[in-house]
Amino acid sequence: MDPDRTASLMTPAKLAQVKPRAPVSPSAWLDKMAMDAGHQHVARLGELAEDLRTQSGRRDYRPLAAELAQLAEALPRLDFGLLQARGFMARLSGKSRTAGAEFAAQYDQIDTAAQALAAQVKSLQARHGEQAGLTDRSLLEFEVEFRAIEKIIDQGSRWLQDMRNQLKARESASGDAAARRLIEEDTARCELLVARLKSLRALGTAAQHAQQQAQSAAARRSSLAQMLQRALSGELKEWRKRLAPLADAARTGSAPALSLEGSMDCHRDLQLGVKQAIADCGQAQAQEKALAEALDSLAAQVKPAA
């Protein structure tokens, strides 16, 4: 609204109470710029770091590791010797059917653990799928703000160097008291910018480290997801294909259609795959912890630079 028009709507008494604003000092503006360079980028970087910290805190691989541990504990209990001992004397004594039932029960326990693992993997993939897009967007904007701060540091460093060169030239020239006072003000302004750039550099170092940890965590999550998919659709599927007929044959006392040796190899492959999955879960959890610590360190640098 036009200030003159606004004033014309006031009563004379109210108009008399209005105090004129003091003119903005160019020196004060420059001082503020020196102290607050990159303020908006710093604030937004802090918000994004907090978002990423929250997202990282929601990624918990411990339930998955627990299900894997249950399966790893159950797998060695499958005793193929129960099937190998089913000879003529075993059939005469009636131990053959007992051994077969025992083998089938062991298989059922492992299959139950495998089903629980599959459900946990499905739940984990669903949760991570929901967060993936949000995390990707946060990381993209995080890098934009981080690069903007780097640019401000570069520009500020060049301006600081130019200003110091000018100050040297002005100091060598003869000047009156007013000129010397301006030199002192500009020197103080340079020191303000030095402090600001130092703070931004510390922030930039912390941001770069956090970004690297975030990228490593993303790569670790992707690797774990691929490994789990391979384990469920590969080793576990092949294990059921091989072992289910054996368990059914053992349950009914009939001769198995598949070789025992091939089934034992498949069982061993699944054990190795589960062992690797447990290790990968631990590494993924450790990487999320490293990311959280890096983001906490960044938050500590954001506060003084904000």
Inform me whether the pLDDT recorded for 25 exceeds 80. Answer: no
Q: Which residues contact 34 (CB under 8 A, 6 or more apart)?
A: 189, 190, 192, 193, 196
Task: Tell me what pLDDT residue 37 has.
Answer: 75
For the chain, give every domain's residue range: 39-130+217-305
Q: Which residue has the higher pLDDT, 270 or 19?
A: 270
Sign of torsion, CA 272 277 280 286?
negative
Answer whether 0.85 is exceeded by the pTM. no
172 pLDDT tier (thresholds 50, 70, 90): confident
Sign of torsion, CA 110 111 112 113?
positive
32 pLDDT tier (thresholds 50, 70, 90): low
Task: Tell me what pLDDT residue 68 has.
Answer: 94
